[in-house]
Amino acid sequence: MTEIIIHQEKIADVDAVLKLCPFGAIEVNDGKVAINAGCRLCRICIKKGPAGAFELIENDAPAADKSKWRGIAVVAEVTAGKLHPVSFELLGKARELAEKSAQEVYAVVFGFRLAPVAEELLDYGADKVVVYDQPELEHFRIEPYTAALEDFINAFHPSVVLVGGTTVGRSLAPRTAARFRTGLTADCTILDIQPDTDLDQIRPAYGGNIMAHINTPRHRPQFATVRYKIFSIPEKCRRDGAEVIQRKLAPSALGSGIKVLEVKPKPPVKMLEDAEIIVAAGRGVKKLEDLAMLHELAELLDGQLASSRALVECGWAPAGRQIGLSGRTVKPKLIITCGISGAIQFAAGMNNSEFIVAINSDPEAAIFKIAHVGICGDLYSVVPRLIERLKGSMA
């Protein structure tokens, strides 16, 4: 464990020391300078504080024996008998990581009547599909699902566990990681692996201003969640010798304080993540009424209208239409951004799109760095002309 200890006798000016930390982690308790839970271990207090007043101490805990932890595991998510597409995306990435580090790929799935699901997972490159098929697991309840994942990890000792960044995954992954006292990196956008099975987990941090590179070299397993549409779905390819392994939880592990009384399916809606064509509106839109112009363009292209965070915050667009780190991650065949600067928070949610067209009046806008086609101009001039051309081609 890494911590900063304070040598009180070397602090002459307490007020000056309190101003050192940009996170407000230095405070006075019982007349002594102390560090609270806000500490980010940025070490500014060590570098800029009084000489010798702050000291970094690293107490290394015993490291996990990496030779006993092998395999890349994917937690496959099932809803109403169907696999969530993020499961296939994670299997494709798991196969890539496994090839680099000479490991097997596991898919673990929980539910009821899962025989068709297990066969489908075999078709997407899993070496072993571990199935927990019991009536009590038909609906997601956190206690038995955590018990099942814990049982799987104890039985197979995977080095890496990949979980979809869904509502279910974001509940299941941290609870299970806590049981193994290991690390979890949420919403990874890039994953790689070292020959010694250390996972390179890369994700935007500090509001998207930096890309954090995270390792968990001393603990196993290594947990990471990944949003839908970050990776691509691989081609079907069943591995030689691939097999399905059935496991059961003891009745005592299936208990829960949650009782599912009824399941009502949501009415079908067009999800932004599933759109093949998107028109995205940004701060360059001057009035709420002007969104009608962009909506018309989206309809002519048989696409959907989305927005940047700025329009959601001012109430012009619903949160479900937002693209970015705090919104949706999309990967359409075509996206047309209109009046969007291309800040990293937005770009992280759409930079894997197949074809990006950017319309912006600022020639230095960051969006042009990732766009395949950049149109430097006023969207109020460019978009009407696009609409006119599209209508002409349909006449």
CATH code of the domain covering residue 288: 3.40.50.1220
Q: Which helix (H) or strand (E) holds 385?
A: helix 379-394
Percent of the chain clearing pLDDT 90 (strictly above): 83
Residue 308 Cα to chain centre, angstroms: 18
Clarify whether residues 74 and 54 are in a common domain. no
Q: Within 13 Å and on the Cβ side, how many CA atoms surround 66? A: 13
Residues 12 and 122 in one domain: no
151 inside domain: yes
244 and 98 part of one domain: yes
- Cα atoms found within 13 Å of the Cα of residue 22, Cβ hemisphere only: 6
- Which residue, 185, 217, 252, sits at the end of a domain? 252
- Domain span at 369: 272-394
Read off the CATH number of the domain in which 22 is found. Answer: 3.30.70.20
Q: Write the secondary structure of 114-167 as one string of H (helix), E (strand) and C (coil).
A: CHHHHHHHHCCCCCEEEEEECHHHCCCCHHHHHHHHHHHHHHHCCCEEEEECCH
Q: Are 347 and 302 within one domain?
A: yes
Residue 168 pLDDT exceeds 70: yes
Q: How many CB atoms lie within 10 A of CB 81?
A: 12
Same domain, 54 and 179: no
Cβ(320)–Cβ(295) under 8 Å?
no
261 in any annotated domain: no
47 and 99: one domain? no
Tell me if the pTM is above 0.75: yes
* Domain match, 103 and 235 both: yes
pLDDT digits (tens, 9 = 90+) for 59-112: 766 788 999 999 999 999 999 889 999 999 999 999 999 999 999 999 999 999
Helix, strand, or coil (residue 380): helix
Yes or no: say if 76 and 244 are a contact pair by the CB < 8 Å rule. no
pLDDT confidence band for 395 (50 / 70 / 90): low
Same domain, yes or no: 340 and 390: yes
In whole angstroms, give the CA distance from residue 359 to residue 49: 48
Euclidean distance between CA atoms 343 and 308, whole angstroms: 10
Q: Based on C-alpha coordinates, what's the Rg of the chain?
A: 25
Residue 265 falls within a domain, yes or no?
no
Give a yes or no: residue 263 inside a domain.
no
SS3 string, 166-225, reads CHHHHHHHHHHHHHCCCCEECCCCEEEECCCCCEEEEEEECCCCEEEEECCCCCCCEEEE
Q: Does any domain span residue 163? A: yes
Question: Which residues contact residue 125 at a Cβ distance below 8 angstroms, ignoring those fewer than 6 apart?
Answer: 91, 92, 94, 95, 105, 234, 237, 238, 239
CATH number at residue 150: 3.40.50.620
Same domain for 208 and 288?
no
Structure letter (DSSP) for residue 390: H
- Beta carbons within 10 angstroms of residue 117's beta carbon: 20
Sequence-ordered list of residues with C-beta below 8 angstroms from that of 373, at least 6 positions apart, any chain: 355, 356, 357, 358
Domain C-terminal end among 58, 84, 102: 58
Q: Does 104 lie in the same domain as 33?
A: no
Question: H or E element: which one contains 14?
Answer: helix 14-18
Please determine, for residue 1, whether its predicted confidence score (pLDDT) is greater than 70: no
Where does a domain end: 182, 217, 252?
Answer: 252
pLDDT tens string 273-312? 989 999 999 999 999 999 999 999 999 999 999 999 999 9
Q: Is residue 79 part of a domain?
A: yes
98 shares a domain with 32? no
The helix, strand and coil proportions of the chain, stated in percent and rounded to the nearest 5, come to: 30, 25, 45
Which tens digit of pLDDT belongs to each residue from 175-228?
Answer: 999 999 998 999 999 999 999 999 999 988 776 677 889 999 989 999 999 999
Domain count, the chain: 3
Residue 99 sits in the same domain as residue 204: yes
pLDDT at res. 254: 95
Asked if residue 30 belongs to a domain, the reply is: yes
Residue 74 lies in a domain: yes
